[in-house]
Amino acid sequence: MTVPATLWQPGMLLTPDRLLATDEQRGIVLVSFTSLTSFTQTVTFPEAFPAVPTGVDTEIQSGAGPTARWDTRAITVTSTGFTLFCYVTDAASAAATWASVPVFWRATY
């Protein structure tokens, strides 16, 4: 279970849940598509945050040829997830095909 971290306050008790507290969730999504120049995929957080996270970072975890000249970012972020947006960064690049390309994400609340 993810327990939101809190700033230490006088009188707080030290509990196992508080020791494991985190304001971050992370994961890897496998992305597959055929002959596209952009692609979106819904990602659901393992556990909902109390509100919309302050930031979601994404990173392509592959150096395979089809991922060259591509980038990713999180769009439409909510407390329960986001949309992963994969897009080609060079307008002159041709469409590409990805097969189970790992994309790492990290959400910070």
The pair of three-digit structure tokens given for residue 13, joined into one six-digit string: 């008790």
Q: What digits encode the pLDDT tens for the residues 65-97?
A: 889 899 999 999 999 999 999 999 987 788 999
Q: What digits encode the pLDDT tens for the residues 4-30?
A: 566 667 777 777 877 777 689 999 999
Cβ neighbours of 87 (radius 10 Å)? 13
Q: Which CATH architecture has domain 24-108?
A: Sandwich (2.60)
Encoded amino acid at 74, one letter: A
pLDDT reported for residue 90: 86
CA distance 102 to 49: 24
CA distance 98 to 56: 22
Residue 84 near residue 12, CB atoms below 8 Å:
no
- Kindly report the length of the chain: 109
Cβ neighbours of 74 (radius 10 Å)? 19
* pTM for this predicted structure: 0.81
Residue 86 near residue 43, CB atoms below 8 Å:
no
Residue 14 near residue 96, CB atoms below 8 Å:
no
